[in-house]
Amino acid sequence: MKVAVIGLGYVGTVTAACLAANGHDVWGVDIDSVKVDAIRSGRSPVAEPGLDEVVAAAVAQGSLHAATSYPDSLEAPEISLVCVGTPSTARGATDLTYIRRAVDDIAAALRTARPSGGRHCVVIRSTVPPGTVEDVVIPALAAGAGDVGITYGGAMCPEFLREGTGVADFYASPFLVVGTADQWVADTVTQLFAFLDQPVRVVGTHVAESLKYACNAFHATKVSFANEMARLLGSLGVDAREVMSLFCEDKILNISPVYLRPGFAFGGSCLPKDIRSLLHLARVNSVDLPLLAGTMATNELVIRDVLDRVVARDARDVALLGLSFKMNTDDLRESPNVELAERLIGKGFNLRIYDPVVNPDRLIGANRRYVESKLPHLGRLLCSEPGMALAGADVAVISSSDSGIVAALKASPPPHVIDISGRLDSEVELLPGYEGLGW
């Protein structure tokens, strides 16, 4: 396959060299003549273990070339991979100047090289905000080459290459994701990377564009979390390295997909009090823990967001299905659902609650004292069946995927359904008034 790789930095050079090493005819394009000359002489323009050897071999076998402009001699490749920089502006926004310039150059080259039409897809590998392919790439292609009969398409194929292990990461990426609305573009990219023998996940462009941001944000959060714990534990004379070494042995909860599913706020008898305890220890030892403090602030924002959604519906009768802090328990201590219920009542909503497990007569100890302080009239609010809570409701807030609740929703859906569990089945998600929290 004929391929153009625009931008010969770390990502572009690794991508171009590895594609060329696996049978593709690759042209690397960069306005920096020093980088181009390095490729032409069989050297990598960037320092990356093992990359010099890959570049030298690909150049020697004639499958890797380099140019300072989109090469007309290539007669337009089938696919262009854009790997240019996307730095921050002074205010923190993503500067798409190089993306726009690259796509404009591609469109101009297509007009020259394919005046009679044909197909070409432009794949963004650079990290760009959601909407870039749809709002920047496709319009630029349409403006630059849309009137000469060329069928063009855009896609996002994020890279997951770490500097220092780029070549190894190329061949063992955590996933291979293609975001596009065009099947032929998805097929072309799949063919391009077929030698990796890795399944290709085809998703919407916005999802693919967001994925790298989510990954990098989580990586940064992990670094900051470990360092925050070290600051606090060090002040207490505890070896943070030993703590975190043990921490990482838990592959069930700590290093796993658990808790990484968008939904409602955290609560219960452990997480809120333990975060508060850590923050207190930090204060008395003059240690700043902004990341952990931020988790409490974020949790509050989630509850406030759901409350605002209910208020925006201009309704008076609300059904809350699920009250405990998680399913299959009657533990109401610091449940965000209890907090939401209290705020709804405080704003004058007529609230009815159903929870398949919670029975006021069986609540004891701290659990009972907590809910009585928040919802002293819980017995009058609870319904014995989900259908009773839903009867006449303008809005249903669902925090449980209990089968009885799901069945009742399907049988008698209210005008508005706010899913805060994220685990309801697809039939509920198709209800006219359905909305989720970020999905």
Which residues partner with 81 through β-bridges? 5, 123
Edge-to-edge, what's the strand order for the sheet holding 2-6? 64-67, 25-29, 2-6, 79-82, 118-124, 150-156, 176-179, 200-203
Other C-beta atoms lying within 10 Å of the C-beta of residue 230: 16
Q: How far apart are CA 264 and CA 302, in angstroms?
A: 7
The pair of structure tokens assigned to 378 is 């819980």
The pair of structure tokens assigned to 167 is 């070549």
The pair of structure tokens assigned to 388 is 């009773």
Is 270 part of the annotated catalytic residue set? yes
Q: How far apart are CA 336 and CA 400, in angstroms?
A: 13
Options 18, 215, 270, 383, the catalytic residue? 270
Query: What string of DSSP letters covers 140-169?
Result: HHHHHHTTTTEEEEEEE----PPTTSHHHH
Q: Could you give the residue ranges of the DSSP H alpha helices within 47-149?
A: 51-60, 97-113, 132, 138-145
Catalytic residues: 270
